[in-house]
Structure 1
Amino acid sequence: MTERQLTSAEIDQYQQDGVVCVRNAVDTKWIQQLTEFGQHQLDHPSQLCNDNDSDKDSQQGRMFTDRYLWRTNELIYRYAKESGCARLAAQAMQSKSSRFYFDHLLIKKANTSAPTPWHQDVPYWPFRGRQIASIWLALTPVTVKGSALEFVRGSHNDRVFYLPEAFGTSGANAGWTGKGEGVPCPDIEADRDSFDVIGFDLEPGDALIFSAWTLHGAQGNLSSDQDRFALSTRWLGDDAIWDPRPGTDPSVNADEVRVQPGEHPTDNAIFPEFYRMG
């Protein structure tokens, strides 16, 4: 497969809406490998997992995440480096480069009613800048009712900083959310008609590229037979600066990095540069 490039229309949509749906974003060779890896992590989670496992026998009601797996797993490292996602992120952000921040495995088993709360990503992370984005890759077919992401179109341009919401309490470093700066996120579900909410049904290999400033969330997985597997990678563009303020994710902390607050994260051991425009 020829490596995917964003069209000018896709770049314009990202810039305008804060999100773009990219069909056939990566080579299909990655999908089976990553799906099998996701199942492995369900059975062998890392210390940074968050696992709402309400029924260990049937797996129903299970909302599972795991992250920073690239540090120890060769497949996730190769996917981040070789899949072309670094280039896609840079193109969407209109950045000359993209540095990898972390990977995030996101699984909702069938018949899991728990939603992903509405939030924006940037308040959780020790960075500031407009050129910060995620690429959410579908590993299984997913509909909006099956817990595909939804977005408030254009909310990345509101420049509002929302208080991080807690997603769960299991796993290492639990409980750090809800302590940072920002205003409470609006109750979008209580008044959806007042917001320009958009969502996308996806096939394996399709991806959503969205700004860290865009409000987004997901319904529960109401499917009775289809699990939702996705892998999100997070990317830092030219204007991202290291900002380890209180209340941000402590998984990467000031003791590990060789950059000072306010500096671009030019630390290739922690934030490897996987793309630079030639």
Structure 2
Amino acid sequence: MSHRNLSSAEIAQYQKDGVVCVRNAVDPSWIEKLAAFGQYQIDNPSQLANDANPGQKTGRMFTDRYLWRSNDLVYRYAKDSGCARLAAQAMQSKSSRFYFDHLLIKTTQSNTPTPWHQDVPYWPFRGKQIASIWLALTPVTLEGSGLEFVRGSNNDNVFYLPEAFGTSDKNANIGWTGKGEGVPCPDIEADRDSFDIISYELQPGDALIFSAWTLHGAPGNKSASQDRLAFSTRWLGDDAIWDPRPGTDPSVNVSEVRVQPGQYPNDNAIFPEFYYEE
């Protein structure tokens, strides 16, 4: 399988804007496999699934995560697709460790938006070198729930309070959100002209690499014919430290992590290092 490298211009855009669109980010052979897996998973959710309007063909927002622990395809994608190297290049990090995978599906005619937020307040880490690679498995337009970003917000050094979105009967951990530190996220939808908002249309295989500090969100999927499937992987760079503070995602069991708060997460069982620049 072929592996892509980021250009110097793509790296500069990530650093400046907090997001870069990477065309043909991974080998095409991954797309059909991951799309089929996504359709399977929505009918066979894990205990960490989050499902708005479950069981319906339309109007549904579904997510599932940490699937690499039990699914060989997801593990091989994280390890072998080249995403680890792309993340390291974007973050300007010598290494990248895998944090978790995240399947994101919005079916047709879904009115449920993904609220504006940044990722880092939700996660038990600190550091600027923390990023996601959001891979499109279907064509993505803004009308079809494409992601939007506040350009440059990764460099504002503002920490926003995490808030819950979506619902799930399965997800017993939903109560952890909204209890951490930070300031409330601004009401971007009420004053869009005051923010430098950017978005991208994607084809299957295109990816968005964005910083965990970048404000982003997505509208509902208004399409009557195209579900939106995406598969995101989350990555930790050289400056990431383990920080399981109150209000962060408890899905990684603190008792299993063999590093102390404030230390680099060099626990290969929980956060495997999939790339290191020699």
TM-score band by shorter chain is over 0.9
> Which aligned runs of 4 or more in structure 1 are off by greater than 3 angstroms?
none
Amino acid at match of 1:34: L
The one of 69, 75, 78 aligned to 1:77 = 75
Question: Of 140, 143, 146, which residue of structure 1 is paired with 2:141?
Answer: 143
Q: Do structure 1's residue 177 and structure 2's residue 172 form an aligned pair? A: no
**TM-superposed deviation, 1:256:** 1.1
Counterpart for residue 118 of structure 2: 120
Contact 1:168 1:174 survives alignment (8 Å): no
Q: Report if aligned partners of 2:84, 2:235 keep a CA contact under 8 Å in 1.
A: yes
Please name the residue that 1:40 is paired with. 40
1:192-222 superposed Cα distances (whole Å, 9 cap, x missing partner) = 0000000000000000000000000001001
Q: CA deviation at 1:62?
A: 0.4
Which residue matches 2:152? 154
Give me the whole-angstrom Cα distance separating, in 2, the residues matched to 1:165 and 1:20. Answer: 25
The 3-state SS of whatever aligns with 1:148 is coil
Gaps of 5+ in 2: none
Q: Is the 8 A contact 1:169 1:175 kept in 2?
A: no
**What displacement does 1:175 show?**
1.6
CA contact (8 A) 1:110 1:223 kept: yes
Deviations 1:125-169 (A, max 9, x none): 000000000000000001011111100000010000000011133
Identity of aligned residues (%): 78
TM-score (norm: length of structure 2): 0.98
Q: Which runs of 5+ in 1 are unaligned?
A: none
Aligned counterparts of 2:153 and 2:256: Cα–Cα separation in 1: 33
- The two structures have a TM-score, normalised by structure 1, of 0.98
Aligned with 1:103: secondary structure? strand
After the TM superposition, which of the residue ranges 172-181 and 257-266 deviates more from structure 2?
Answer: 172-181
Q: How many residues matched?
A: 276
Measured in 1, the distance between the counterparts of 2:239 and 2:143 equals 36
Amino acid at match of 1:262: G
Q: For residues 1-278 of structure 1, what are the structure 2 equivalents within 5 Å? A: 2-53=2-53, 56-57=55-56, 59-170=57-168, 171-278=171-278
Superposed displacement of residue 30, structure 1: 0.3
Displacement of 1:36: 0.4
